[in-house]
Amino acid sequence: MSSLKVQNATVQIGEKTLLDDVSITVTPGEVVTVLGPNGAGKSTLMKVISGERKPSSGSVILNDREDWRLEQQALMLGVLPQSSSLSFPFTVEEVVILGRIPCATDRTENLAIVEAALNEVDGLHLKDRQYTTLSGGERQRVHMARVLAQIWNELDFGKRYLLLDEPTSALDPAHQQLTLKMARKQAEKGVGVLVILHDLNLAARYSDRLVILKEGGIAAQGTPHEVLTVETVKAVFNVDVTISEHPAHHCPLVINN
């Protein structure tokens, strides 16, 4: 079956172990959220999955294969990094259409996809603005649209996946909700979504499964109900919380004591 699978990935730099025997699977149609304190190895995990960093041992299997060509991988795997530096005065439309580089569609179709992708992130009104004049949160949404545009088309050779590294870090509450709703919508379309978050409640509300990393290893993995317990949160994040149930969504609700 198609999936994005990390098998026993370990990353070592000198004496330091950044990632310690981590195995996770993302299947198409689900949203998996990675949580963990700073330095737990979340971004390293992302880099291993996207192929940016070779693991010291272990492997990443994308739709049953390890050896995709870069151009093919780009069509199946969209990656939103934590922050992007772009200091040239592109318009927003020009930035988003860069996401279509690996795709073999013509310009008219690409422009339509750019509009649709911008619409998904509530950014259509930014289309003709100059990227360098945008606020941090607007930039983050523009890059999100770029990554959406990249994996817009369904493929005949494999399922698609989205890796989002802290997509909500610069966003206001309304756009945080919007972004994760968008991630859910992608999952409903058959995309496998792996997202790194810091907000436990956002994670609980929008994820099918949670993976909690601590010091490079997996501390807990399962549904939000299974994973978000008073003990686990205390052990991993060193905060005392009360766990209740969300009155409307029936997901765990984490309240700081």
Partner 1 sequence: MNRSRKSALLLIVLAVALPAVIVLSVGTGPVSIAPLDILYILFDRLGITDSQVSDQTRLIVESIRMPRTLMGAMIGSSLAIAGAAMQGLFRNPLADPSIIGVSSGAALGAGIGIVLGGALFAGFSSSLLMDYSVSLLAFAGGVLTTWIVYKMGTTNNGTSVATMLLAGVAISALAGAGMGILNYIADDATLRSLTFWQMGSIGGANWNSVLLCFTLLGPVIFMLCRYGQVLNAMLLGESEARHLGIDVQKTKLKLILVTAMAVGVSVSVAGIIGFVGLVVPHLIRLMVGPDHRTLLPASAMLGGILLLAADMIARVAVAPAELPIGIVTALMGAPFFMSLLWQQRKRIA
Distance (Å, whole) CA 27 – CA 234: 29
Distance (Å, whole) CA 144 – CA 232: 31
Contacts of 162 (CB under 8 A, 6+ apart): 77, 78, 80, 147, 148, 151, 183, 186, 191, 192, 193, 194, 195
Q: Among residues 20, 58, 26, which one has the least CA distance to residue 39?
A: 20
Of 33, 44, 63, 150, the one binding partner 1 (CB under 8 A) is 150
Of 74, 124, 134, 170, the one binding partner 1 (CB under 8 A) is 74
29 forms part of the interface with partner 1 (CB under 8 A)? no
123 forms part of the interface with partner 1 (CB under 8 A)? no
Which residue's CB is nearer to partner 1, number 51 or number 137? 51
SS3 137: helix
Of 10, 50, 56, 119, the one binding partner 1 (CB under 8 A) is 50
90 forms part of the interface with partner 1 (CB under 8 A)? yes
Which residue's CB is nearer to partner 1, number 21 or number 94? 94
Give me the least distance between CB of 86 and partner 1, in Å please. 6
Choose one: 58-66, 70-78, 191-199, 214-222; the region binding partner 1 (CB under 8 A).
Answer: 70-78
Distance (Å, whole) CA 219 – CA 197: 16
Of 33, 44, 63, 73, the one binding partner 1 (CB under 8 A) is 73
Distance (Å, whole) CA 73 – CA 87: 27
How would you classify residue 237: left for phi > 0, otherwise alpha for psi between -120 and 50, otherwise beta? alpha
Q: Which residues bind partner 1 (CB under 8 A)?
A: 47, 50-52, 70-75, 77-79, 81, 84-91, 94-95, 98-99, 101-102, 150
